[in-house]
Chains A and B, each alone.
Chain A
Amino acid sequence: MKRLSITPRENWREELEELGFIWHSPDGAYWDENACYEFSPAQVEQLETATNDVFELFVEAADRIVSSDELLADYGFSDEVNQMIKDAWNRDVPALQYGRFDFGYDGVNPPKVFEFNCDTPTSLYEAAVVQWNWKEDVFPMADQFNSIHDRFVARWKELKVHLPDDLYFTAFGEETGEEIATTTYLAELAVEAGFTCYPILVNDIGWNEELGRFTDMAEHPIDAMYKLYPWEWLVVEEFGKHIPKCADQMFWMEPIYKMLWSNKRILVHLWEMFPNHPNLLPAYYDKRDLTRYVTKPILGREGANVTIFDKGHVRDRSSLSHPEDGQLIYQQLYDLPLTDGGYPIIGSWVVGGESAGIGIREASLITDNKARFIPHIMR
């Protein structure tokens, strides 16, 4: 795992925009091709194995949590949400089973998982498509740990027999365009797999009392919907109370049990269930015997409310704060390798429950919304 300083393509902005990658420089630089990372095949295999192993841990953990009222109660969801989670898990409802593990990795030792972004993961398009395009331009003879796109298409095809042909795709129209574009990309993958896709903004979704169904803008009931909008928001918003009423008549992608995996309580549960697993970091609801640790909220995103403590000192603190992100967990600090560009974090994708490729972001110690995406090669 080496960081290479390289010269950006002369027309890199045009190249990116040609791909529809419209959020490459929202505040300064997000996409950064002044450098890239190089991995050996052995390192890629190590990441791939870790990703598959950790996903299995999450599956096993969900199995145990869903079958234990005590563990499930730990999450503080309503009874109705708990029931929907149980139903979705036990029925094995259709799911893309995709997400991004954030790993600490030094190129030698086992990768350690920081969290699983599996409900509304972003940085997908740049990992799946943009960095491949860059590699083809800049390192055409090299390879890349990246089969993300193909695996998505394959997964959508697998789901074809389980889902209606018509899928709705919803997102909230935030300002960078990232969420809209990511949702559009997911829709295009589904179309490639043979679905017909319809867009609808989150706030345009209707509730029809007569039908007892969520509806589109022309009063058609929605049978299946992909959402880039967190479950924990959906269930507490005004229409959240209607979700259980039609839970048997509508597929949500991803299913509601993703509320377990995207909640950082799972990190505590994982450490309890699989202590000393080589890909896990100790995590607790309190400090215990940790001297170097990270506190992060159970529902935090983009590094919000994260603080790093190192032997009694605050080493770094997130500038983003969302007080409503909930209780803190304590996770042992992982010493990310320091490079010329900062600290790299590996975003390792699973699609269909299998390792599919990586994207790398560099930031300060806390990987927040100012992190830069650095492409990679394998050779």
Chain B
Amino acid sequence: MRRYIKPKYVALTGALLMTSALVGCSPSPVPTEKTVIRPTTSASTSATPPESVRFCAMEKNGEVVRVPEKDCIQTETRTVQSSSGGGMSPVFWYFMGSMMSGNGGGTHNYYSSAPAYGAPLVGGSRNMPNVGNTTIYNAPAPGQSMQSATVVSRAYGYTAPAAATASKTGSTPATTTPSARGGFGSTGSSHAAGG
């Protein structure tokens, strides 16, 4: 009889949205107890965890920006909320920022582990190594466009795609002739793709 052992996934507790998984780094050792890896700054490595404060994203002057919950205007059609101070992956933020900028629609309420507003991470550099020196922090700073989320980071071997230009940053485009876009996705607006 085969035993089904614990998945060797450090991110079981930070899993989906763990930034370290997206920086091309080696997986962290399997924890023997629950471990949540959070982004930290040099100024905060020994400090308390980031404050857990909800934030939302809302449209402001034509851009979608991240604001503390108290400033969130819920009448806006697109909101993102966070309930904890963990890290989100650049992939997630790219998708989210892209949705916010008009590909989605309707109201979005995401109770996810996005970084806390006001945490030290967002004040200065947003390339934040974690304790394993591998994690980058990649959410938009307060007041900055959601589209800016993934622009910032290029660290530790990972080349983050720019939010508006998800691509192999640093390499030369194969052509300067613009591509046509929008030819996929029409069915997805009225159906759930997953099953």
Q: A residues bordering B, Cβ < 8 Å?
A: 13-14, 17-22, 41, 44-45, 48, 117, 119-122, 125, 128-129, 132-133, 136-137, 143-150, 153, 166, 168-169, 171-175, 177-185, 187-188, 191-192, 194, 196-211, 213, 215-221, 228-230, 233-234, 236-240, 242, 262, 301-302, 322, 357, 369, 378
**CB-defined contacts of A198 to chain B, threshold 8 Å:** 161, 166-168
Given contacts A18-B13, A149-B9, A198-B161, contact A219 B178 (CB under 8 A): yes
* CB-CB under 8 A for A219 and B15, given A146-B7, A175-B107, A196-B159: no
Contact partner of B188 (CB less than 8 A), chosen from A48, A147, A233, is: A233
1/0 contact string of B1-35 vs chain A (CB within 8 Å): 11111111101111111100111100100000010
State whether A200 and B166 are in contact (beta carbons under 8 Å apart), knowing that A17-B111, A179-B192 are contacts in the complex: yes
Give Cα A206–Cα B166 distance, bound, in whole angstroms.
11
Contact A20/B103 with A14-B83, A209-B177 known, Cβ cut-off 8 Å:
no
Cα(A117)–Cα(B195), bound, Å = 6
In the bound complex, residues from chain B placing their C-beta under 8 Å from that of A14 are 83-84
Q: Which residues of A contact B112 (CB under 8 A)?
A: 17, 20, 22, 177
A200 to B, closest residue via Cβ: B166
How many CB-defined contacts (below 8 Å) exist between A and B?
Answer: 290
Q: What distance in Å separates the Cβ of A157 from its nearest Cβ neighbour in chain B?
A: 11
Looking across the interface, which residue of chain B has its beta carbon closest to that of A169? B91
Q: Which 3 A-B pairs have the closest CB atoms?
A: A206-B179, A239-B183, A122-B194
CA distance A13 to B11 in the complex (A): 18
Question: What are 16 A-B pairs with beta-carbon distances under 8 A?
Answer: A17-B84, A20-B14, A45-B1, A129-B12, A133-B34, A150-B7, A172-B189, A173-B99, A173-B103, A177-B108, A197-B91, A202-B184, A208-B179, A211-B174, A218-B169, A228-B194
Residues of A within 8 A of B8 (CB): 149-150, 153
**Shortest distance between the CB of A361 and any CB in chain B (Å):** 12
| Contact present for A19 and B7 (CB under 8 Å) | no
Interface centre among A17, A262, A302 (most CB of B within 10 A): A17
